[in-house]
A = this chain, B = another copy of it.
Amino acid sequence: MTGLAAIRRAAVLAPHPDDEVLGCGGTMARLAAAGAEVHVVIATRGRPPRYSDAYMDRVMDEARAAHAVLGVHRTHYLDLPAAALDTLPAAEINARIGDCLDVIAPDTLFVPFVGDIHLDHQIAFTSAMVWARPRHAGAPARVLAYETLSETNWYAPGVTPGFQPNLFVDVSDHIEQKIDAFAAFESQAKPFPDERSPEAIRALATLRGATVYCAAAEAFVAIREIWRGR
């Protein structure tokens, strides 16, 4: 039996649609298959003029399709402005993310990594950590940071926080679901050698898997785990 069996309700906080699939698509699929309730919280939505409403509707449709592939229980859309979280008061972001997580009440929270180059990722991380403060017995038992191709490897290794994973989830039986779910994001995928490609996703899963002797894995930085009593 693994620590995964202890998860009943998980929430995955994604700054933008598809981060959740890149970071923990396989784990979500495995959790769902094991009977856990998996929620996704999409923090932002692109805004005109940079992103047209039609484009964003399409992306959101892709997210729905991807989440269906993975067995996501419910997706929550916060519609905060994409690539602009730094323009909002932190208290407002905290409130929006916190209110949503209060409703979900997950025992396990997946967050983007604070060392990702995208400010939205950094801000979402910190906001989630504020919500997850263990100030009461109902605080989440696990906070795990996932890695995001095209974000995590592009900051400043050795200078800004580096992603050095300490928790690996075997997703050998779910890697194809992950690839399929990402394929649903036609608007976001790019041809290899872009990091946002099926080839890069598969290579990462293969490498993380080999590190712990399984065919495919997703890797996380365990930020905090609490093994409560009784």
Contacts and interface: CB of A to CB of B under 8 A. Distances in A.
Contact of A210 (B166, B192, B215, B228): B192
Interface in A149-187: 149-150, 153-162, 164-173
A8 B166 CA distance: 21
A210 B195 contact: yes
Contact of A158 (B2, B137, B172, B221): B221
Nearest to A122: B126
A124 to B, nearest CB: 13
Interface in A126-153: 126, 129-130, 133-137, 139, 141-142, 145, 149-150, 153
B228 A114 contact: no
A194 interface: yes
Contact of A211 (B153, B158, B164): B153
Contacts of A207: 200, 203-204, 207
Interface stretch (A10-18, A52-60, A81-89): A81-89
A30 B228 CA distance: 11
Nearest to A4: B227
Contacts of A49: none
Interface string A1-43: 1111110100000000000000000000010000000000000
A117 interface: yes
Instruction: Count chain B CB atoms within 10 A of each CB in A142, A171, A195 and give the residue with the most.
Output: A195
| 8 nearest CB pairs, A to B | A157-B164, A203-B206, A170-B229, A200-B210, A3-B3, A2-B227, A162-B164, A134-B212
